[in-house]
Chain A
Amino acid sequence: EAQVTQNPRYLITVTGKKLTVTCSQNMNHEYMSWYRQDPGLGLRQIYYSMNVEVTDKGDVPEGYKVSRKEKRNFPLILESPSPNQTSLYFCASSPRANEKLFFGSGTQLSVL
């Protein structure tokens, strides 16, 4: 089944403890992206990747890192999480940029 898989589904952590949210797609898509979703603010892009080893900042990149060493994986790294990063995170992919995105099921992160 074609899908975008994120893990974990739920995560509770404490301020400053490094964490990684994994994302994998099995559709051979070139483009991948991370969004966060907050009430009243909608979906905002954190980082995106046009292809392997090509990443760039989205609208709200501060406090996040990404890597794209393989085409299928695009992990989101929070080196030192803070409470304002408590949010619902979505990974998404598309065949190329400017095409319809396929979303994962989301990761609900709480930073205490």
Chain B
Amino acid sequence: GESVGLHLPTLSVQEGDNSIINCAYSNSASDYFIWYKQESGKGPQFIIDIRSNMDKRQGQRVTVLLNKTVKHLSLQIAATQPGDSAVYFCAENKNSGYALNFGKGTSLLVTP
């Protein structure tokens, strides 16, 4: 999961396995959540989003789960591939609704 500090938490998985990346968000009033993927040398890329009136949303090989009771968000990647190696960020909308608040990120390393 994501945490504060200079070193990103790292998740190492084998190619073909499923990955689960966790995120604890801070604002109980947040109603919109997004997962981004950032590859080395590139800008963050949208993966999937979910609004607070949903608990689960599925995309292509990815699923986002939202647990509002414990303010927890997770990203599941099925059949992880080497191209999935990147830093993953969760984001929540702020109180004002005019900006996204980003987590510190989790580094996913996919080994052959």
Q: Are B102 and A43 in contact (CB under 8 A)?
A: yes
How many residue pairs bridge A and B at CB < 8 Å? 55
Once bound together, how far apart are the Cα atoms of A100 and B50, in whole Å?
10
Once bound together, how far apart are the Cα atoms of A105 and B44, in whole Å?
8
Q: Are A90 and B6 in contact (CB under 8 A)?
A: no
Q: Does B77 contact A (CB under 8 A)?
A: no
Give the interface size class of chain B: 20 to 34
Once bound together, how far apart are the Cα atoms of A42 and B36, in whole Å?
13
Known: A100-B34, A101-B46, A104-B43. A45 touches B99 (CB 8 A): yes
Q: Are A42 and B104 in contact (CB under 8 A)?
A: yes
Q: Tell me which of B42, B45, B102, B103 has the highest count of chain A C-beta atoms within 10 A of its own C-beta.
A: B102
Q: Are B103 and A42 in contact (CB under 8 A)?
A: yes
Minimum CB–CB distance from B89 to chain A (whole Å) comes to 7
Q: Does B97 contact A (CB under 8 A)?
A: yes
Q: Are B45 and A103 in contact (CB under 8 A)?
A: yes
Known: A100-B34, A100-B46, A102-B46. A42 touches B102 (CB 8 A): yes
A residues contacting the other copy or chain, number (CB 8 A): 26
Once bound together, how far apart are the Cα atoms of A33 and B44, in whole Å?
14
Known: A33-B99, A50-B98, A97-B98. A106 touches B32 (CB 8 A): no
Once bound together, how far apart are the Cα atoms of A4 and B41, in whole Å?
15
Beta-carbon nearest neighbor of B6 in chain A: A40
Which 8 residue pairs spanning A and B have beta carbons closest together?
Answer: A103-B43, A40-B6, A43-B102, A42-B104, A98-B97, A97-B98, A103-B44, A45-B99
